[in-house]
Structure 1
């Protein structure tokens, strides 16, 4: 992983959204192959980071049962993943924070390693994933990102200005993208149909 090691990274699972397309259910607790989605995220994240945080705005007692600190957004407006980033950066004790959503249970087991390589090669403060679909189109996957802890002031100022778009903040910080060839690994469950499709995948991830 170069000079950025596993011990330098805190992992943050983002489970703070409203999941409106799922009927408002707490997505992290929806069953995937018989277990809550959050468990897939925790299992894949654990070997890649030093410690884990969970960003959630409800069901704190359930999330706390996994043994990791549970962080709520600073307000109850459900203002998106950047609010989760802020909560994670404030609690982060390592030089880097890596974020993953709770509803993409197949994300790469080498995510941290590949993002760290790009971060160092590009001398950037933020590295995020991108994927290429079967038609060759590249899609940004911005909630899968590795960022330096010292970006907290930058992000809080950005949000205080009324901004909410991840891509705009990334552009301000010259974020660097890492392309992953297999777009299936970033598939997420925004609807019950998408969740069923994910469960039907036969894969080696």
Structure 2
């Protein structure tokens, strides 16, 4: 039996979702808060750049606050705060308009600095290139739908879903499509769950300690 072709990493655009409202952190751009010697976003990009050359940042408001990173900043294309799905849609829209060779968008949460260094590779290996299947990451038997691989072919469906006022929850939309879960182990550099996210001020202390540990 011939194995279905897999997705080349070159055909993937990474979209860092930095547009959250950060209520539990007190507001502002939590991805720009320093952990260790540099902002959380810089740690994220250090892990992401070896995985794919195609990267955009999804954030609303003044894009100049991300200018130092030298990456395109794309705003949500739907009104209101529609959560991660709006960011995924923004990444898909950018890919369709500017990157004709890109067939899939991988989403990266902007508050998760220790995500797997092989995230893109493993997600791409998990789904066929000739069928629109969504791949989502898991760890410790817990699903992390914000870390997913999204076929650009589903752009129009997602756009219609959000425009019609449907739920902005990721799983509400993914349940309508074929999907697969891809498991990941703990981060070997820090010992943390790779999808540990800095939602609260106390989480920043954990992240800073982990960065220090990894550098020792």
Fold conserved (TM > 0.5)? yes
| Aligned structure 1 segments of 4 or more residues deviating by more than 6 angstroms | none
Q: Look up the match of 1:84.
A: 87
Deviation track 1:121-160 (CA, whole Å, cap 9, x = no partner) reads 995521010110xxxxx21111111111111011111112
| Contact 1:8–1:49 (Cα < 8 Å) also in 2 | no
Matched, 1:19 2:27: no
Aligned partners of 2:200 and 2:130: how far apart in 1?
A: 36
Alignment correspondent of 1:96 = 104
Structure 2 residue aligned with 1:68, among 66, 71, 74? 71
Contact kept in structure 2, 1:122 and 1:176, CA below 8 Å: no
Is structure 2 residue 206 aligned with structure 1 residue 197?
yes
1:3 Cα deviation from its structure 2 partner? 3.3
Kindly report which structure 2 residues correspond to 1:47-196, keeping only aligned pairs within 5 A, or say none.
Answer: 47-75=50-78, 77-92=80-95, 93=99, 94-120=102-128, 124-132=132-140, 138-162=141-165, 163-182=167-186, 184-196=193-205
* Partners of 2:12 and 2:54 within 8 A in 1: yes
Aligned residues: 198
| Secondary structure in structure 1 of the residue aligned to 2:115 | coil
Q: Do the aligned partners of residues 78 and 144 (structure 1) sit closer, same or farther apart at CA in structure 2, a change above 3 Å counting?
A: same
Say if 1:14 and 1:100, in contact at 8 Å, map to a contact too: yes
Q: Tell me how large the CA RMSD over aligned residues is.
A: 2.0
TM-score, length basis structure 1: 0.89
TM-score, reference length from structure 2: 0.85
Segments of structure 2 that go 5 or more residues without pairing to the other structure are 187-191
CA distance in 2, matches of 1:97, 1:121: 13
Change in Cα spacing, 1:76 to 1:33, as seen in structure 2 (3 Å) is farther
Deviation at 1:88, TM superposition (A): 0.6
- What whole-Å deviation, never above 9, does each CA across 1:57-89 have from its counterpart, x for those lacking one? 134102122111101112552221111111110
Q: 2:34 aligns with which of 22, 31, 34?
A: 31
Q: Give secondary structure in 2 for the equivalent of 1:128.
A: strand
Structure 1 range deviating more: 69-78 or 164-173: 69-78
* Partner SS state of residue 187, structure 1: coil
